[in-house]
Chains A and B, each alone.
Chain A
């Protein structure tokens, strides 16, 4: 079986104008939603308390809401979680009640009303911890980006590092844009997914760049544009199959992973889809735009073979 049968190289680079426009547009839209709607940050980042409780039958949200209002928590958000018998309760931080006791107070009130209720999960994050997590998250994003640029600059050339990271940050922004637009909850696990995507979709660019380097050596007479077109076309099959396989694993998580992994898998899905697009149609045009030449890579290549020759 062979899915991809390209008779000749696909002129990706000549579409550069359109793809760059599309990328720019999606990017701007994503930034727009991020700016206007903002991320629906989970309790990990904002601080506060989240409780998941399970009832033996379908839960009556209004009743629970009234109960909580009765104990002075009208600002609690209550919603179904996963199925009708599970309920998720979000409580903002209350200065007057010790946060550690908050969940106990709520649980007691709920139990009085229906004693089948079972505590499934409580997460309380102090505001100070939340701030730190935001800080660390941003720092991790920065370090990953710099690390990748440095590695690619060493292995290829700085232009490739910059192009790859722009392409991937573009993916990250788009993932964030989706989360902002749909107001999906952005939790620590989602952040992990975003960072994993950052590392993962760089693979994509790396594979293409590797081919570009190889082609510069082999296709002596071809123009830079032809070289890149050929590299993308010939790695296309692998790109789609690999991403397809990863997506299969992610879909499995989406279907069987339950609520806890839902947004994690969703973030990965968006990341994978845009990862394909950006590796092919964002990273490479940027490399072109940055004015990559044969000498950039062939020179490096020579050095490398020399190093490799020394045992």
Chain B
């Protein structure tokens, strides 16, 4: 009765072997490395890059431990971090701006393991050090920005069609267009309806004015939000590339949030600065029809705003935005003809066309270039347009230093954010604490396991030892599973491993106690083993399912560290069911199943009450 068919033994054997195989990469440790990838995702790294990197390193006599080419990047291993840091500077200088040169750690596990995608566990930021940000996209900001763009478009449409209107203004989350007569409004309604399918219109009259309230349709709103988040993610990715991070994670979390994880980043101040900044440019015309001094005294014209030019006096700027920063292809710091620091912009074809038209139509007038950072607008410069600029190449000079020019161009190059973002959560862990956390988690598991192993073996003898073996297999399978799934292992996750060890033994205790119980009732050893396993099964299942319910709920509602805990807890329950029931049973069957005459079960002392009532 205590025999397993061959296939069951095979299942156990195969899973243990697979467990060993996939746990293996975790034992090799890591070596410092540098990862080089092209700055733009459209560019491909190829073998010529490999050759270039090799050449640069050889020229500078940097010893290399190995180079490989994978996933659109070149990775170079070094023997220690000093060489790694030296190599980074040299490579950065040698390769120039087009490449991300980032520090990284590479697993030292042999290639054949990597080939069967046996990778070490993916460590969370609290274990390897780094920064985690949760950014909230300011949807209201995105919305008002896009409404501003729409009102500019509506204005020019109406002008083109020669429809007379009094005013176009954004009020809250809608645009109000005011007309003097009904006829113009009807015309305008048709015009807008035909040309802008994303807008919904509502007419209402106010005394002698005819209003048209324009707002975004629900579907368009949704689409706009999605694209705002997507664009922000793209922008963030570009910015992170500028920072040089080896394996950044940038992904959407919920409708309007973005998670950014930068493993191994030390200079958090710079990271935050670059990520958090929402610099973009706006090109507007200077309002020259109204008097600045009048505006200074509080009488602002309705379609203009008052700003101060950097290093200059106040300037009145029209509200209508002619061109925004998302039309910028490239931005580089440099100098103008008079050797003043400047930012050289390169506009995309659309932007170049708009700019050409703008400059052609406004020769002799002043144009204002506004830098918008963290919702603060500043006029960098307000030059007079000398001539039509057809090429899309724009040079901004203003009152700025060289480093300011560099900063502005970095931010502009990395792209504009579609909507402003705020950091609403930050978790930074220094590398020393990360390493400490690993050893803490490891020790907790190790000593917990050792204590349980000793106790079980002493208390249940051979059956205890079998239980401990099953527990070991459980640990092995759990780590293998975590490695295969590449689930993020966090410190709470390591705590869950330790806790799982403590909880998984429950199944074996249940079984062993059951067997003792059956023996106490005077059943033969073989029957007792069989009955013990069978009777305990239902209880083990019930008990584990309730814990699983808790684990799943934790996973569903938990964030960050809790999720890591929940994943390990759930996986641990699954592996423990398998190992406690199947693995231990197969060991028992293998050892005792074939013995016809099993006199005693080596499960420790079974005490029988002398005056058993039943």
**A, B co-complexed:** yes
**A interface, CB within 8 angstroms of B:** 1-2, 5-8, 52, 54, 98-101, 103-104, 107, 118-126, 128-129, 133, 136-137, 139-140, 143-144, 147-148, 151-152, 155, 188-189, 191-192, 195-196, 198-200, 202-203, 206-207, 210, 214, 234-235, 237-238, 241-242, 244-253, 255-258, 260-261, 264-265, 268
Which residues of B have CB within 8 Å of A52?
433
| Bound Cα distance A8, B444 (Å) | 39
Given A144-B549, A144-B550, A203-B543: A133 and B447 within 8 A (CB)?
Answer: no
Query: What is the interface of chain B mostly: helix, strand, loop, or mixed?
Result: helix
Q: Which positions 509-526 of chain B face chain A at CB distance < 8 Å?
A: 509-510, 513, 516-517
- B168 on interface, CB distance cutoff 8 Å: no
Given A250-B499, A257-B444: A119 and B557 within 8 A (CB)?
Answer: no
Nearest-neighbor residue (CB-CB) of A249 within chain B? B502
Nearest-neighbor residue (CB-CB) of B563 within chain A? A192
**B interface, CB within 8 angstroms of A:** 126, 134, 136, 268-269, 272, 276, 374, 422-430, 432-433, 436-437, 440-441, 443-449, 451-452, 455-456, 458-459, 491-492, 495-496, 498-499, 501-503, 505-506, 509-510, 513, 516-517, 535, 538-539, 542-554, 556-562, 565-566, 569, 604-607, 609-611, 613
Decide if B510 touches A207 in the complex (CB within 8 Å): yes
Nearest-neighbor residue (CB-CB) of A257 within chain B? B444
Decide if B509 touches A122 in the complex (CB within 8 Å): no
| Bound Cα distance A237, B430 (Å) | 46
Decide if A256 touches B443 in the complex (CB within 8 Å): yes
Chosen A-B contacts, 24 in total, with CB atoms closer than 8 Å, are: A1-B604, A2-B516, A7-B609, A8-B611, A54-B430, A98-B374, A124-B425, A129-B424, A144-B549, A147-B549, A147-B550, A188-B562, A192-B562, A202-B547, A210-B538, A237-B513, A246-B502, A246-B506, A248-B452, A252-B446, A252-B448, A253-B498, A255-B447, A256-B443
Distance from B437 Cβ to chain A, minimum over Cβ atoms (Å): 6
Nearest-neighbor residue (CB-CB) of B428 within chain A? A122
Decide if B495 touches A151 in the complex (CB within 8 Å): no
Nearest-neighbor residue (CB-CB) of A208 within chain B? B539
Given A151-B545, A260-B491: A241 and B557 within 8 A (CB)?
Answer: no
Distance from B114 Cβ to chain A, minimum over Cβ atoms (Å): 31
Nearest-neighbor residue (CB-CB) of B429 within chain A? A121
Q: Which residue of B134, B498, B501, B546 has the most chain A CB atoms within 10 A of its CB atom?
A: B546
Decide if B559 touches A200 in the complex (CB within 8 Å): no
| Bound Cα distance A248, B471 (Å) | 14
Given A100-B423, A129-B134, A189-B561: A245 and B509 within 8 A (CB)?
Answer: yes
Given A136-B557, A140-B556, A206-B542: A125 and B425 within 8 A (CB)?
Answer: yes
Q: Point out the residue from A99, A133, A207, A256 that lies within 8 Å of B559, measured CB to CB.
A: A133
Decide if B436 touches A126 in the complex (CB within 8 Å): no
Decide if A148 touches B549 in the complex (CB within 8 Å): yes
Decide if B549 touches A199 in the complex (CB within 8 Å): yes
Q: Point out the residue from B492, B509, B535 that lies within 8 Å of A264, measured CB to CB.
A: B492
Distance from B520 Cβ to chain A, minimum over Cβ atoms (Å): 9
Distance from B471 Cβ to chain A, minimum over Cβ atoms (Å): 10
| Bound Cα distance A247, B494 (Å) | 16
Given A122-B426, A253-B444: A203 and B546 within 8 A (CB)?
Answer: yes
Decide if A119 touches B430 in the complex (CB within 8 Å): yes
Q: Which residue of A6, A54, A188 has the most chain B CB atoms within 10 A of its CB atom?
A: A188
Which residues of B have CB within 8 Å of A155?
542
Which residues of A have CB within 8 Å of B426?
99-100, 103, 122-125
Nearest-neighbor residue (CB-CB) of A259 within chain B? B440
Decide if B553 touches A140 in the complex (CB within 8 Å): yes
Query: What is the interface of chain A mostly: helix, strand, loop, or mixed?
Result: helix
Distance from A170 Cβ to chain B, minimum over Cβ atoms (Å): 16
Q: Point out the residue from A188, A234, A249 that lies within 8 Å of B561, measured CB to CB.
A: A188
Which residues of B have CB within 8 Å of A104?
268-269, 272
Distance from B428 Cβ to chain A, minimum over Cβ atoms (Å): 4
Given A1-B605, A124-B423, A125-B425: A151 and B611 within 8 A (CB)?
Answer: no
Please list the 7 inter-chain residue pairs (A to B) with the smallest Cβ-Cβ separation, ordered nearest first.
Answer: A199-B550, A249-B502, A249-B448, A126-B424, A252-B448, A246-B502, A203-B543
Decide if B547 touches A199 in the complex (CB within 8 Å): yes
Decide if B428 touches A121 in the complex (CB within 8 Å): yes
Decide if A100 touches B609 in the complex (CB within 8 Å): no
Decide if B549 touches A128 in the complex (CB within 8 Å): no
Distance from A11 Cβ to chain B, minimum over Cβ atoms (Å): 13
| Bound Cα distance A202, B501 (Å) | 18
Decide if B546 touches A122 in the complex (CB within 8 Å): no
Distance from B470 Cβ to chain A, minimum over Cβ atoms (Å): 13
Decide if A210 touches B542 in the complex (CB within 8 Å): yes
| Bound Cα distance A252, B449 (Å) | 9
| Bound Cα distance A100, B547 (Å) | 38
| Bound Cα distance A123, B552 (Å) | 26
Decide if B513 touches A5 in the complex (CB within 8 Å): no
Which residues of A have CB within 8 Å of B496?
196
| Bound Cα distance A279, B501 (Å) | 21
Decide if B448 touches A206 in the complex (CB within 8 Å): no
Given A234-B517, A244-B455, A261-B491: A136 and B505 within 8 A (CB)?
Answer: no
Which residues of A have CB within 8 Å of B136?
126, 128
| Bound Cα distance A107, B459 (Å) | 54
| Bound Cα distance A99, B134 (Å) | 13
Decide if B272 touches A100 in the complex (CB within 8 Å): yes
Decide if A257 touches B440 in the complex (CB within 8 Å): yes
| Bound Cα distance A121, B430 (Å) | 6
Distance from A160 Cβ to chain B, minimum over Cβ atoms (Å): 10
Given A207-B543, A253-B448: A189 and B492 within 8 A (CB)?
Answer: yes
| Bound Cα distance A174, B517 (Å) | 34
| Bound Cα distance A260, B441 (Å) | 10
Decide if A252 touches B451 in the complex (CB within 8 Å): yes
Nearest-neighbor residue (CB-CB) of A272 within chain B? B502
Which residues of A have CB within 8 Å of B126?
260
Which residues of A have CB within 8 Å of B503?
200, 246, 249
Given A100-B426, A200-B547, A264-B492: A140 and B569 within 8 A (CB)?
Answer: no
Q: Which residue of A54, A133, A237, A249 has the most chain B CB atoms within 10 A of its CB atom?
A: A249
| Bound Cα distance A7, B501 (Å) | 32
Q: Point out the residue from B425, B433, B559 that lies within 8 Å of A120, measured CB to CB.
A: B433
Decide if B543 touches A129 in the complex (CB within 8 Å): no
Given A207-B539, A207-B543: A246 and B499 within 8 A (CB)?
Answer: yes
| Bound Cα distance A268, B499 (Å) | 9
Distance from B402 Cβ to chain A, minimum over Cβ atoms (Å): 24
| Bound Cα distance A45, B491 (Å) | 19
Which residues of A have CB within 8 Å of B502?
245-250
| Bound Cα distance A254, B517 (Å) | 34
Given A1-B459, A124-B425, A249-B448: A206 and B553 within 8 A (CB)?
Answer: no
Which residues of B have CB within 8 Å of A253?
444, 448, 495, 498-499
Q: Which residue of A144, A191, A255, A260 has the most chain B CB atoms within 10 A of its CB atom?
A: A260
Distance from B588 Cβ to chain A, minimum over Cβ atoms (Å): 18
Decide if B557 touches A143 in the complex (CB within 8 Å): yes
| Bound Cα distance A152, B458 (Å) | 35
Q: Point out the residue from A126, A139, A199, A252 that lies within 8 Å of B444, measured CB to CB.
A: A252
Decide if B609 touches A245 in the complex (CB within 8 Å): no
Which residues of A have CB within 8 Å of B505?
242, 245-246
Given A126-B424, A257-B440: A118 and B432 within 8 A (CB)?
Answer: yes
| Bound Cα distance A261, B607 (Å) | 39
Distance from B556 Cβ to chain A, minimum over Cβ atoms (Å): 7
Which residues of B have CB within 8 Å of A250?
448, 498-499, 502
Decide if A261 touches B440 in the complex (CB within 8 Å): yes
Which residues of B have CB within 8 Å of A244?
455
Nearest-neighbor residue (CB-CB) of A244 within chain B? B455
Which residues of B have CB within 8 Å of A258?
436-437, 440
Decide if A151 touches B606 in the complex (CB within 8 Å): no
Q: Point out the residue from A5, A128, A248, A261 that lies within 8 Å of B424, measured CB to CB.
A: A128
Decide if B549 touches A248 in the complex (CB within 8 Å): no
| Bound Cα distance A104, B607 (Å) | 66
Which residues of A have CB within 8 Å of B609?
5-8
